[in-house]
Every structure is written in C-alpha cells, then in structure tokens.
Amino acid sequence: MFDTIDGRDVVYTVVGLALFGLTLQPALARYKLFNLPLFYALFGAAAGMAGYGMIDPLASTLHAKVVEHASELIVIISLAGAGLAIDTVGSWRNWNPTWRLLLVTMPITVVGVAALGHGWLGLTIPGALLLAAALAPTDPVLARSVQVSPPGQDEQPMEVALTAEAGMNDGLAFPFVYLAIHAAALGVGQMFQGEAWFWSWLSFDFAYRVIVGIVIGYGVGLVISRIIFSPVGDGSQGAWNAVVVVLASTLLAYGITEGVDGYGFLAVFFATRAGRSNTRGTSNEGYEKFVHHGAEQLEAILLAVLLLWLGTFIGSGALSGLRWQEVAFALALVLVLRPAAGLLALVGHDCTDISRRKVAFFGIRGMGSVFYIAYAQNHAQFGDIDAVWRIAAVTILVSILIHGYAANYWLEGDEQLGEVHPHHEDGEGDREAA
C-alpha cells in the first residue's frame, strides 16, 4: 500500500504540516516551553536521520546555490520587516545603543571569533575569517522574538536597539565575508604585498559598497513610497496588494543596489526606513502596517522551510566529526563573547543594568550565517568549509535553544534602555529631552 510513497510526497506533507503549524503559533506562544524554531529544527533533524535530507551544500555546487539564494531571500524579507517595524526615528540619540553595538560589539566579535577559530579550533585563516563574518551579526530572522512589535504598537528601547542592530549589521558583516573570500582566493600572504588586495578590499568592499547600499537603498525606498501614495499607487487603492508591494520594493532595492556592487542587505533596510520617513506625520501613516504584515507572513513561510532544511542538514550528517571544542566554542560565543562585547559597548550608557545585560545577551545567530557561508563557498575554495558549516550549525542550534527559552522567561516586563523620542527627529528630540 505504501509502495507509491516517495521523497516528494514526504516533502509536501512535512512542509504542509510546518506551514499549518504557523497558524497555531499565536495560541501556543503563551506557553514558556514553546520554542517554534527549535521544534522545527528537531523535526527536520528527525526527517534527515530517516533519510530525507535532500539539499546538502557540501554535496554539490547546485545544492550550495539553492541554500544561498533561499537564505538570501528570507534575510532580505526579514530586513524589510525590521525597517518597517521600528517607529522610533533613526538618529544618533534615539538609536545610540545600536550605534554602540555596531561600532564596538560587532568588531570585537569578529576579531574574537576569528582568533578562536584559528588559534583554538584549528581553522585556516580564510576559514576562521569566514566563520567570524558569518557568526558576528545578530540575525534579523530568528531574533524576531526580541525585536519590536508591528508598527504603531508600544516598543521598548531595548527592542529598538536589537531590531536596528539586526537591520544593519547583516550588511556590515559583508565586508568581512569578502575579506575571507579574498584571503581564500588570493592568499593571505598577498594582503600587503604583490597585488596588495587588502587596500582594494578596504576602499571598495568596505567603503564603497556600504555607502552605495545606504544611499541607493534610501533613494529607491523614497521613490517607491511616493509612487505607492500617488493616485495610481496601492496606498490610494485600498491597500489590497500589500504583500506584493513589500516583495516588489524589497527586490527592487536589493536588485538595483547589487547591480552596482552595493550591499543589498543595507539597501533593503534603508529603503523601508525611507518609506517610514515619507509617511510619518501624514494621512498615509499606517499603511506600513499592511505591508509589515505581508512581510511577516512571507518571512514565516520561508523560515519554516529553512528551519526544516537546517534540521535535515544536521540530521543527515552535517555534525559528523563534531568535537567538544566546537561545542564549547558555540557556548562561549553565545554565553561569554557576545555578552561581554555587548556590555563593553554599553559602558557609560544611561540605562538600567538589567536592560544593558539583555541587549548584550540577545545576539542571536541564524539564517544570515547560513547565507554568508553558502555565498562564500560559491565564490572561493575553502579547504575547511565542512568544519565551518559544522561549527556554524551547532552554534545556530545552541542559539535557538538558549536564546529562544531565555526570551520566553526573561523578557517579560522589560525595563527601559535609556530614553527615546519615537516621533521626533534628532534635533527636536534633543530639545525636548533638554
């Protein structure tokens, strides 16, 4: 009777169950033991151990490209949602904890992971650099549980700090991915001599690509927003196409920016921030609620599929050869390195001690890490790419487990992380604070 069942039937059934499970999330989220990403990853792992792991980035270039582009899509959708969700105006004062996390915490984490990867785990320098670039950013996808609520709802400064950090640090991690790619393709010994690729990396991959991503992303977002609220735009026609709008605007900002070698991740986040800026204080304010809801639904669908894939990847042998040092590294990153770097960044900031600890602690790792490793693998040869995948996979699992349950038990009744002025620009907010 069961002879007609093949792998395709199982995939359809499992994905269908996973998507249906998303509809139960609002009701189940009240239970502290509920950890949806963990359950989906474990479910996928069981399927992988049963022999249904079908996409392995280590098996072929095609598989690696599938993983790259699937994780790429969920990250850009998540970045669009993060940009739309934040009500607090982006300014040096309002987003001060975010700037501290980006300028202090992230570089320290990159250096720390690279040093541990090379000196303790025995990775090559290119492999250690890739691991550092992949694991340094806070993931905008899996960090959803500690980020701000949908537009128009109350948001805590701690949530703003983590959401804005996740919105920008994925793009700012890309220069370090290219550093690893150059080191693997051109050789570490050529950094400052011969071709001297380090200076090209600093000027092009670091400076040019970041600036272009921000500028073009903001410009594209502003133009699209004005079209949306023109007489022919969706904002003037009942907001029936909000899901299409978020997908179209995200892909346009990303595609145009990547076409001129800018960082599309930054472009997507700043495009949505431009849209919020264009509607703030006008009769059109509130349309972003529909668009944000569409982004959340798209993200949830992709996340369910990718978590199942991650589980099958792990269950079908990705952790083969796992050493205790690699597990210890994952625990050290989640419990020591990121929290210590976060606390250092927030020294002197006017906030409660418990809020400072929360922001420092919730540096969640996830789908962004998957994308960076797959991207680098498809652009250069890394001799220890299997070890990089293995270490990243166990780190993501540790993060899902620890951060997921910590969010359930620790984030109720969050204290303020300093004072913010959600609806004022920097100058006006500073005057009011004074």
User: What average pLDDT is seen over the chain?
Assistant: 86
Give the tens place of pLDDT for each residue, 78-126.
999 888 888 888 888 889 999 999 999 999 999 999 999 999 999 999 9
Reported pTM: 0.90
pLDDT in tens, 335-352: 999 999 999 999 988 888
Q: Which of 22-26, 84-88, 408-412 tops mean pLDDT?
A: 84-88
When pLDDT is averaged across residues 161-170 and rounded to a whole number, the result is 88
Who wins on pLDDT, 286 or 88? 88
pLDDT at 411: 67
Catalogue all structural domains in the chain, each as residue range(s) with its CATH number.
Answer: 7-433 (1.20.1530.20)
Q: What pLDDT does 231 receive?
A: 86
pLDDT in tens, 76-86: 999 998 888 88
Q: Please tell me the predicted confidence (pLDDT) of residue 171.
A: 81
On the question of pLDDT at 280 being above 70, the answer is: yes
Per-residue pLDDT tens digits for 236-256 = 777 668 788 888 999 999 999
pLDDT of residue 215 exceeding 60: yes
Average pLDDT over residues 224-231: 89
| pLDDT tops 50 at residue 385 | yes
Q: Which residue has the higher pLDDT, 215 or 198?
A: 215
User: Which token pair is 260?
Assistant: 């001129």
Task: Confirm if 334 and 399 have CB atoms less than 8 A apart.
Answer: yes
For residue 391, pLDDT beyond 60: yes
Cβ contacts of residue 32 below 8 Å, gap of 6+?
405, 408, 409
Arithmetic mean of pLDDT, 169-188? 91
Whether the pLDDT of residue 184 is over 80: the answer is: yes
Cβ–Cβ under 8 Å, residues 18 and 377: no
Mean pLDDT within 246-272: 94
Q: Does the pLDDT at position 416 exceed 60?
A: no
- pLDDT of residue 423 exceeding 50: no
Lowest mean pLDDT of 64-78, 273-287, 292-306, name the range.
273-287
- Over residues 207-234, the mean pLDDT reads 92
* Mean pLDDT of the 195-223 span: 92
In this model, does residue 295 exceed pLDDT 90? no
User: What pLDDT is recorded for position 430?
Assistant: 40
Output the pLDDT for position 230: 87
pLDDT at residue number 355: 84
**From CA 226, how far away is CA 51, in angstroms rounded?**
51
Average pLDDT, stretch 358-371? Answer: 89
Taking the C-alpha atoms of residue 334 and residue 390, their distance in angstroms, rounded to an integer, is 16
Whole-number pLDDT of residue 7: 64
Query: pLDDT-based confidence at 132, cuts 50/70/90?
Result: very high
Residue-level pLDDT at 6: 64
Percent of the chain with pLDDT over 90: 48
Is residue 415 predicted with pLDDT exceeding 60? Answer: no
Q: What is the pLDDT of residue 151?
A: 76
Query: What does the alpha-carbon distance between residue 243 and residue 409 come to, in Å, rounded to a whole number?
Result: 33
